[in-house]
Amino acid sequence: MPNQTDRLATGLATIQSITGQSGQSVVESLKDIAPDFADWIVAFAYGDVMSRSGLDKPTRQIATIAALTALGTAAAQLKVHINGALNVGCTPQAITETILQMAVYAGFPATINGLAVAREVFQERGVSLAGAG
Amino acid sequence: MPNQTDRLATGLATIQSITGQSGQSVVESLKDIAPDFADWIVAFAYGDVMSRSGLDKPTRQIATIAALTALGTAAAQLKVHINGALNVGCTPQAITETILQMAVYAGFPATINGLAVAREVFQERGVSLAGAG
Amino acid sequence: MPNQTDRLATGLATIQSITGQSGQSVVESLKDIAPDFADWIVAFAYGDVMSRSGLDKPTRQIATIAALTALGTAAAQLKVHINGALNVGCTPQAITETILQMAVYAGFPATINGLAVAREVFQERGVSLAGAG
Amino acid sequence: MPNQTDRLATGLATIQSITGQSGQSVVESLKDIAPDFADWIVAFAYGDVMSRSGLDKPTRQIATIAALTALGTAAAQLKVHINGALNVGCTPQAITETILQMAVYAGFPATINGLAVAREVFQERGVSLAGAG
Amino acid sequence: MPNQTDRLATGLATIQSITGQSGQSVVESLKDIAPDFADWIVAFAYGDVMSRSGLDKPTRQIATIAALTALGTAAAQLKVHINGALNVGCTPQAITETILQMAVYAGFPATINGLAVAREVFQERGVSLAGAG
Amino acid sequence: MPNQTDRLATGLATIQSITGQSGQSVVESLKDIAPDFADWIVAFAYGDVMSRSGLDKPTRQIATIAALTALGTAAAQLKVHINGALNVGCTPQAITETILQMAVYAGFPATINGLAVAREVFQERGVSLAGAG
């Protein structure tokens, strides 16, 4: 197992490459109330898990988008990870397709709500909606 | 939009290419109690949705595995789709990684239960567990 | 508000009329570990809630079947309430339709798993599956 | 199976009869980002499923309200379908009773949140709350 | 079983001791649309259940905070019960720890969203965040 | 932050003290398919999280039992943690009360299913059910 310094460094590099500033802002915002949890996001979620080599970063983001769309309880996190998907090279179309597919596995309301988050991200980043569907 | 004959034909080809016999067995088993629903699986779930070109088949299976692992309410369907993932070229490692990642997004019990399904599939197909983790 | 004796009497009559023996067996089986909870099922769930006049009994069973199919975490209770639906006059077709409709609101796996429970009930009671779909 | 033109026509008529303008607005709003999904809502959700004759429209709305209240992840869709229930002839009391019943099957918070949506709809439509409980 | 007058009296005393004014406001706000449900909150949820002696009040609040954080569908109720936990003597640290623990059992997004509610409560009450983590 | 050796050692001691052999068996059983995940259970779930001093061990087990009962998707893990609760000094009554309380927050089916797991554990350990309710 990597040592703690390496876990944090790997995690910081991974969170930076996936989420850019938005994920780091979440981590920063947690330091007042739960500094250890902020560290767990960096060292465990990104350092131990999301940095692993067995799955490429775009596919990992698709998996996260699928899960958060299906669960339907984490709109803010879904927004971070749709941004993350674009950051690591997913096309808008791949993101939209993933959310559409959830209509089969989690129902139409899950997809409608997921698309609302995707639209918000696409519009903030100037992504053409016409090519995303 | 494609016509009905095309939707069913596309769906049958897609369900065959992803799930092989197991998905078709599910469809067949539903014809006694809900023949229209059996058609919807073929024409809608596979014909309209899973056959789309905007996302390659292996990535679609990863998305499904992520969602079903996170939801935790569909072990039988997760088994069909882990089989499907192997059928369309996902490596065992990619499947395992997807399930592991869900520990971050849906909790450790979701991953433990997802891995139990994956182990069952891998063992039935003679996939080495040592290389899957 | 009704007094306690009335709540229990109303609840017992209601549970008997909806579930027949199966609901009462659930209540009996809980008396070893949680006798007060057994009373709550009778006095609250059936006495206060399910006995209310604002919705007829068949529609209440449809609502319960819809919810339990969508949640996907209560197969044993879904079985009790599909039996209950038949007991209070729902047709097998109405039950099947309700479960099918959940494909839209909670996804196809929810419907597949709900239909498996319905088939089990229909077969135990000798209900023709051909007319149920 | 009906042909595509019929599915869309049936779906449009059904969505119009149940949701009036609000459901069509949802469909319209999706055409920028996911035009095929907008079609699926019309052709599949309303054309194939919600238009079926095996369950009357008011009972279908009760089933949807039960499921969305229990899931707790689809407040906007619950609002559309409470409106839809009133549109197809459900009484306010039947809607309220369905949401109350979910306290038994999905917990009190689900009912509290469902009632908040119902109150919003009833107030927008000038439905007396006094007669709804 | 206690009589109805006692159930309501016990419930009112319990809701007052746990939630102070906030829980009673929820109950009051429900009297327009669902007066019987308002009574159920008092007589059943607080009178029958939350007043029981088998678990002390602080531990009951921890159990509720754990469940609502894990479910992720009841932010308003989580806020009431974090306030309730402080009212019955839970330390801010115990509340934060409970929410952190849910990262293991329900995933990191559940914890992030739970912490946002806790921060809101702590800030409204002037609880130092520095000592809460 | 502790170093890796300390995290694993703390985690092993914590998992041993809470779950005894059953938790360690889960960890061992995962080493074939996902050895890194087995390490995460020890180092993260037990080493970083469950070993923390801000909440005593019995209360942590109550929180876990509440969450897993409410989620309803993790019966095997609920069994491990009901055993764990008894191991760290929770009374059977405290466990039963926690599960009963979930009827309010997650519905009666969640409690019925949680009680079935508790009964199984109590019977395996020779705990009198009469005193548990």
- Considering only CB atoms, which chain B residues are within 8 Å of C129? 32-33
* Residue C43 · residue C2 · CB < 8 Å: no
Q: Do D112 and E77 touch (CB under 8 A)?
A: yes
Q: How confident is the model over E81-93, as a mean pLDDT?
A: 97
Nearest to F104 by CA among D74, C37, C54, E13: C37
Q: What is the pLDDT of residue E55?
A: 97
Q: What ipTM was reported for this prediction?
A: 0.96
C36 touches chain E (CB under 8 A): yes
CA C33: distance to chain centroid? 22
Q: Name the amino acid, one letter, at C95.
A: I
CATH code of the domain occupying A55-128: 1.20.1290.10
* Residue C100 · residue C84 · CB < 8 Å: no
Note the helical H segments in chain B.
Answer: 4-19, 21-30, 35-40, 57-71, 75-87, 92-106, 108-125
Task: Give the Å distances, CA to CA, from D41 to B63, C27, C91, D23, D38.
Answer: 21, 42, 27, 10, 5
Residue E132 confidence (pLDDT) above 80? no
Q: What is the pLDDT of residue A2?
A: 76
- Tell me the pLDDT tens digit for each residue of A1-35: 678 899 999 999 999 999 998 888 999 999 999 99
Cα(A107)–Cα(C66) distance, integer angstroms: 13
Total CB pairs under 8 A between chain E and F: 101
Q: What is the pLDDT of residue D4?
A: 86
Place of tokens 């027949």: C20
Q: Do A108 and C104 touch (CB under 8 A)?
A: yes
Among D5, D6, D12, D48, which would you mutate to test the B interface (most chain B Cβ atoms within 10 Å of its Cβ)? D48
Cα(D63)–Cα(B3) distance, integer angstroms: 31
- Tell me the pLDDT tens digit for each residue of C56-103: 999 999 999 999 999 999 999 999 999 999 999 999 999 999 999 999
C35 touches chain B (CB under 8 A): no
Total CB pairs under 8 A between chain B and D: 27
Cα(C123)–Cα(E38) distance, integer angstroms: 41
Q: How confident is the model over E92-106, as a mean pLDDT?
A: 98
* Residue E99 · residue E68 · CB < 8 Å: no
Q: What is the pLDDT of residue C2?
A: 75
Q: What are φ and ψ of residue F94, in 5° steps?
A: -65, -40
Among C112, C120, C124, which would you mutate to test the B interface (most chain B Cβ atoms within 10 Å of its Cβ)? C112
In chain B, which residues have pLDDT < 70?
1
Sign of the torsion angle spanned by Cα atoms C82, C83, C84, C86:
positive
Confidence category of residue C132, pLDDT binned at 50, 70, 90:
confident
Residue A42 confidence (pLDDT) above 80? yes
Q: Name the amino acid, one letter, at A104.
A: V
Residue ranges, CATH 1.20.1290.10, chain A? 55-128
- Considering only CB atoms, which chain E residues are within 8 Å of A64? none
Place of tokens 């739960």: A34
Residue D1 confidence (pLDDT) above 70? no
Cα(E79)–Cα(E125) distance, integer angstroms: 12
Q: How confident is the model over E87-106, as a mean pLDDT?
A: 98
Query: Alpha-carbon dihedral of residues B108, B109, B112, B113, nearest 10 degrees?
Result: -150
A95 touches chain C (CB under 8 A): no
Q: What is the pLDDT of residue B1?
A: 64
Q: What is the pLDDT of residue B13?
A: 96
- Tell me the pLDDT tens digit for each residue of E29-52: 999 999 999 999 999 999 999 999
Q: Do A37 and E115 touch (CB under 8 A)?
A: yes
Q: Which helix (H) or strand (E) holds D40?
A: helix D35-40
Would you state the structure tokens that stand for residue E53, as one six-digit string?
């002696």
Place of tokens 């549970």: C15
Which among E4, E8, E44 has the least Cβ separation from residue C44?
E44
Q: How confident is the model over F80-95, as a mean pLDDT?
A: 97
Q: Do B32 and C129 touch (CB under 8 A)?
A: yes
| Touching subunits for chain B (3+ Cβ pairs under 8 A) | A, C, D, E, F
Q: How confident is the model over E59-76, as a mean pLDDT?
A: 98
Confidence category of residue F111, pLDDT binned at 50, 70, 90:
very high
Which among E71, E100, E129 has the least Cβ separation from residue A37?
E100
Confidence category of residue D2, pLDDT binned at 50, 70, 90:
confident
Residue ranges, CATH 1.20.1290.10, chain E? 55-133
Q: Name the amino acid, one letter, at B99.
A: I
Residues of chain C with pLDDT > 70, as a percent, come to 98
The fourth-level CATH superfamily of domain B55-133 is AhpD-like (1.20.1290.10)
Radius of gyration of chain B (CA): 15
Confidence category of residue F101, pLDDT binned at 50, 70, 90:
very high
Place of tokens 């918000």: A120
